[in-house]
Structure 1
Amino acid sequence: MQYLYPNQDLTGYRQIVKVGEDLEFCGFELLRLDAGKSFESETLDEEAVLVILSGKCDISVNKKEYTNLGVRKDVFSGNPTSVYVPVKSSFKIREAQGLFAEVAIVTAKAEKQFEPFIVMPEDVVCNNRGILNYKRDVRDIIVANGEGKVHRIIVGETINYPGHWSGYPSHKHDVYNPPYETKMEEIYHFRIKPEGGFGVQVMYNEDLSLRKAYLIKDGDTVILPEGYHPIAAAPGFQVYYLWVMAGEHGRKLLPREDSKLSWLNNVGPLIK
């Protein structure tokens, strides 16, 4: 099975992960627009979140206009601006600054139709999670705030400090076993700062029938249909990743930690 989708330095639209083929519930597309260029599409049986990675855009959804969106020069420069697009909707994205804009289009299989809405940078819920060398910054774009407003999709961003891990202690969400674990697919899309660096995506399961590690470069994408999936940033480099999750059993996050690492949860109280 293909898990790693390497970066392709292309301008325009690229579908990277297709719902119903690469994964059952999650999809990922990337849009790179030169000055004044635009892109139009429709969602059909998927809901989507348009996350502005850099630049400024005008976005319309079912003729509802959102203008001059986007405040950051790159993904490391503050919170994103995002727009939710329901199923069976048309949308248009136009570069609005006369420079360059990049937009991630994350999607999830959906049946229920809701209203479009915008998530401004100040609406993003930010947390600093972890301790020691697995401390990271997490930005929830549409997570708890999406209840009653979206069907399945969950979206956010994480930034690893240089030399630090995230998704650690390792967790997974590939078995439906409430209240201990839920089943959700996930996609990561990565950026590295400075660009010449790298991160490492680890993937494994209980019996090690899945046991992989990928060298992650700027612009790469990884799908996570199963297994534990921690990430490490090489010393000297920050690792950013956009994440999208979806599954058939609702939106409540119930990850299961690797029991062999659970002792690490006792470290935090000891050093505080």
Structure 2
Amino acid sequence: MKLKQPNDFSNGTNKIVDITGPFRDYLMDFEILKLNAGDTYTNDQPLERAYLIIYGGIQVTFNGQTETMYRENYYDHNPVTLQLAPNTSVDITCTTDNTEIAIFKTENPDMTHNVLRRAEDTVVEERGKGFMNEAGTRITRTIIDKSIDPLSNLMLGEDMHYPGKWAGFPSHHHEQPEIYFYKFHPVNKKGFGLLKLGDDAVLLEENDTVLIPPNMDHPQVAAPGYAMYFIFAIRHLEGNPYIKPTFVEEHLWVEQPDAKLWPDH
């Protein structure tokens, strides 16, 4: 299901998915926080929370420490993310105009630690290189998964998706619910992509959110001329966490290994 953002985000908190609302089966809160220099924000909810800077700068105070977080843009720079345990109070003061932060929250009574995950902590992979005539080449940035943080209930990351290229293809699915959030570069609101969600084709445009139901295939492609960026957030299920496939495992889904889809060895 696509949740269309009809206008630019308002200053302050823009709620998109409510963990107690009509999409509660996705087990996550998702909102976009827009701030200008001097704006403040405070939160101490009893949820695991991840504050991912899309672009801009903030000063954060949590658990007795104060840190600066800055990201010039999402297409050239790795993400900076503050991950907080339930009930940890955070105070944010914005340091640059037009700052945008993606916030994901979920229940997690077992998490007790707080981590500032800097750009250099991101696991960066060039996926798709050498396969399918480079049709699926993309940059994947993993911020949190079970190998990085075994106690987190979130898998969180980004794809920076070359123009005309595919992601999630060959088609794949998983049992855990997932949220995608999209942007396009250059930012002139003319870029778009397409997502195959089950039997439906979903048009993807600037600031769209898509909810991926469990066990539904979801390959996607960027239109030529525009790089497609998306944040992916997966909620691990109790006793059934999502385990990211390796690069080789991802391409073992191809059923015709003799069709020149494989790299030279």
TM class, shorter-chain normalised?
Answer: 0.7 to 0.9
Matched residue, 1:13: 13
Instruction: Give the TM-score taking structure 2 as reference length.
Output: 0.86
Deviation at 1:6, TM superposition (A): 1.3
The residue identity in structure 2 corresponding to 1:245 is I
Give the secondary structure class of the aligned counterpart of 2:135. helix
Separation (CA, whole Å) in 2 of partners of 1:12 and 1:263: 50
Deviation at 1:247, TM superposition (A): 2.7
The residue identity in structure 2 corresponding to 1:59 is V
Instruction: Give the TM-score taking structure 1 as reference length.
Output: 0.84
Query: Structure 2 vs 1, CA of residues 63 and 260 (structure 1 numbering), >3 Å: closer, same or farther?
Result: closer
Query: Structure 2 vs 1, CA of residues 267 and 108 (structure 1 numbering), >3 Å: closer, same or farther?
Result: farther
Matched residue, 1:112: 110
Deviation at 1:267, TM superposition (A): 4.0
Does the CA contact (< 8 Å) of 1:192 and 1:237 recur in 2?
Answer: yes
Separation (CA, whole Å) in 1 of partners of 2:80 and 2:167: 23
Instruction: Number of aligned residue pairs: give it.
Output: 250
Matched residue, 2:75: 76
Q: Percent identity?
A: 26
Query: Cα deviation per residue 1:18-71 (whole Å; 9 max; x = unaligned)?
Result: 124314322211001012111112222x211100111111112244322x211x
Deviation at 1:107, TM superposition (A): 1.8
The residue identity in structure 2 corresponding to 1:112 is D
Does the CA contact (< 8 Å) of 1:125 and 1:140 recur in 2?
Answer: yes
Matched residue, 1:51: 52
Matched residue, 1:213: 201
Does the CA contact (< 8 Å) of 2:146 and 2:243 recur in 1?
Answer: no
Deviation at 1:74, TM superposition (A): 1.9
The residue identity in structure 2 corresponding to 1:69 is M
Separation (CA, whole Å) in 1 of partners of 2:56 and 2:72: 6
Match of 2:236 among 247, 259, 263: 247
Give the secondary structure class of the aligned counterpart of 2:262. helix
Match of 1:194 among 186, 204, 208: 186
Deviation at 1:142, TM superposition (A): 0.9
Deviation at 1:100, TM superposition (A): 2.5
The residue identity in structure 2 corresponding to 1:116 is N
Matched residue, 1:262: 255
**Structure 2: runs of 5+ lacking an equivalent:** none
Separation (CA, whole Å) in 2 of partners of 1:260 and 1:84: 33
Separation (CA, whole Å) in 2 of partners of 1:78 and 1:264: 35
Does the CA contact (< 8 Å) of 1:86 and 1:114 recur in 2?
Answer: yes
The residue identity in structure 2 corresponding to 1:76 is Y
Query: Structure 2 vs 1, CA of residues 246 and 199 (structure 1 numbering), >3 Å: closer, same or farther?
Result: same
Separation (CA, whole Å) in 2 of partners of 1:136 and 1:11: 32
Does the CA contact (< 8 Å) of 2:236 and 2:242 recur in 1?
Answer: no
Does the CA contact (< 8 Å) of 1:152 and 1:250 recur in 2?
Answer: no
Does the CA contact (< 8 Å) of 1:186 and 1:245 recur in 2?
Answer: yes
Query: Cα deviation per residue 1:122-158 (whole Å; 9 max; x = unaligned)?
Result: 010100111311111000111244334x331110000
Does the CA contact (< 8 Å) of 1:41 and 1:92 recur in 2?
Answer: yes
State whether structure 2 residue 218 is matched by structure 1 residue 229.
yes
Separation (CA, whole Å) in 2 of partners of 1:143 and 1:218: 26
Equivalent residue runs for 1:174-185 within 5 Å: 174=175, 184-185=176-177
Give the secondary structure class of the aligned counterpart of 2:255. helix
Query: Cα deviation per residue 1:169-203 (whole Å; 9 max; x = unaligned)?
Result: 111002xxxxxxxxx11101100112321011211
Equivalent residue runs for 1:135-214 within 5 Å: 135-148=137-150, 150-174=151-175, 184-195=176-187, 196-204=190-198, 211-214=199-202
Give the secondary structure class of the aligned counterpart of 2:159. strand
Query: Structure 2 vs 1, CA of residues 140 and 12 (structure 1 numbering), >3 Å: closer, same or farther?
Result: same
State whether structure 2 residue 94 is matched by structure 1 residue 95.
yes
Does the CA contact (< 8 Å) of 1:26 and 1:186 recur in 2?
Answer: no
The residue identity in structure 2 corresponding to 1:185 is P
